[in-house]
Amino acid sequence: MSDILDNENQSHGFAGSQQLPNATACLVMGILAICTCWIYGIFGIVFGIIGMVLHTKDKRMYLSNSMTYESSYKTSRAGYICSLIGLILSILMILLVIIVIIAFVGGAFGNLFGK
């Protein structure tokens, strides 16, 4: 029975496929980057950068032997995209916080000095 399964796996190209070591972690970091970008952007930036670094390591492994890591590279790529989106949203959130602080401080000093 195992001979039949081995032959079937080899004919579909799944023989010797392995998982990239950071593919799942990269996806988790990307999802966390998106979910935490609204917390003043700090956590989203941290998780986004970690996810992008993990994907870079996985991409090097994938490029060295693409047939072996084909299945899990898609997971790592999805994590990279989520990390990038989370990083952009976090940067926008930080800019929004800065704008609100500047507007608040400008309004407070404007009222303080009678403008």
What are the tens digits of pLDDT across the range 70-91? 889 999 999 999 999 999 999 9
What's residue 8's pLDDT?
Answer: 43
Instruction: Please write down the long-range contacts of 5-12, taking CB distance under 8 Å and 24 or more positions apart.
Output: none
Rounded to an integer, what distance in angstroms lies between the CA atom of residue 57 and that of residue 54?
Answer: 5
pTM of the model: 0.79
Each residue of 7-55: pLDDT tens digit? 444 444 455 578 999 999 999 999 999 999 999 899 999 999 999 999 9
**Which one, of 77, 87, 75, lies nearest residue 34 by Cα?**
87
The residue with tokens 């392995």 is 18
